[in-house]
A and B are shown apart, each in its own frame.
Chain A
Amino acid sequence: MMRKVPSLVDLCVRVAVDNVRYIGNVGETENHLLERILPHCTLDQLKHIEDSTENRDLSPITDKLWKEFYKRQFGDDSINILVERMRQKKVMYKWKQLYEAKLKEREKATQESCDRLRKRYLEVNAKKQSRQVQLCTKVPSSSAKRSYSGGVVANNIYNTKSGLMKKAKIEFINSREVKNIAAMKNKAVQRSHSVSSPVKRVTSSGPSGLPSSSSSSSKLTKPIQRRF
């Protein structure tokens, strides 16, 4: 009894399918044979074969394969939209090109999202940093403190013999004092939002500072009262 002998072509196709990952240049292999083999490729394998096969356009066979890859990756809806668009414009694009274009688009969108996210993180971090206590290398001079407290100011005023000068000086200091107070108050408010203890440390220079600040306040108010 004669059993049907497998043809050599069939045997070869079987081996080719089993080894499709090793196939590169398919040269002049006939279309109908490729039709049997290429559907067994993954996306990367198909791409490799097309890239390796020079001087030959495999798209008569591969176009429908690329369409299938597109569908799997981007969904039926996307495909239907594209098919409709192509029909309206009476253009036919190769599915491989459409796939690669869509992939690029997606990658770009993902990259942009990542960038936005990273920017947000940086912004939040920067905000936190700005509220932190910054270490100064320069210690505020005691004379400056006293000027805030009004000590130096008071000296200047009391040392002046001319009334006009006195008045002028008072006005000047008042304006600066007011500005300083406002500034210091603002900073105190900001800092009180973070840690409270640093605020105390910064605004007062320690136990020695306290009496001066208390005395300063009295001295501070005096000129104003005198003024009015």
Chain B
Amino acid sequence: MKKEETVKLISAEGFEFVIDKKAAMVSQTIRNMLTSPGSFAETEHGEVTFPEISTTILEKICQYFYWSLQYASGKETEFHIEPELTLELMMAANYLHT
């Protein structure tokens, strides 16, 4: 993976998730952060920190990104969500417009 094609998502606990830019762009919020010219510091370093999103939730979100790309390309599978994560995941997804 070329560095230019990845982004780093950092959770509240400081855990770093390195994922494809394409995957991260599934989130409208991240897309805006990364494409908006010069307004976000994130565009320079390709890093976004989410102080309000926990590691478990951020991991699940990254999984969703990849699932979403898969689904869009024709492979329709089920995306399983653990009930105990539901509310928190929902709020994070809402924030990320995804």
Contacts and interface: CB of A to CB of B under 8 A. Distances in A.
B1 interface: no
Q: Which of B64, B71, B83, B87 has the most CB of A within 10 A?
A: B87
Contacts of B81: 11-12, 15
Given A8-B90, A16-B86, A27-B87, 5 more contacts: A13-B90, A15-B83, A28-B91, A29-B87, A29-B91
A11 B91 contact: no
B55 interface: no
B86 A19 contact: yes
A7 B89 CA distance: 12
Going nearest first, the 4 A-B pairs with the smallest beta carbon separation are A12-B90, A8-B93, A19-B83, A9-B93
B35 interface: no
Interface string B77-93: 00101010011011101
A2 B98 contact: no
A3 B90 contact: no
A6 B72 CA distance: 10
Interface residues of A, number: 23
Contact of A7 (B73, B83, B87, B93): B93
B72 A8 contact: no
Given A5-B68, A8-B89, A12-B86, A33 B94 contact: yes
Q: Main secondary structure on chain B at its contact with chain A?
A: helix
Interface residues of B, number: 20
Nearest to A13: B90
Interface of B: 61, 64, 68, 71-74, 76, 79, 81, 83, 86-87, 89-91, 93-94, 96, 98
A155 B61 CA distance: 117
Interface of A: 1-3, 5-9, 11-13, 15-16, 18-19, 22-23, 26-30, 33
A196 B94 CA distance: 88
Q: Which of A5, A6, A13, A26 has the most CB of B within 10 A?
A: A5
B72 A3 contact: yes
22 contacts: A1-B74, A2-B72, A2-B73, A5-B68, A5-B71, A5-B72, A6-B71, A8-B93, A9-B90, A11-B79, A11-B81, A12-B81, A12-B90, A12-B93, A16-B87, A18-B83, A22-B83, A27-B87, A27-B91, A29-B90, A29-B91, A33-B91
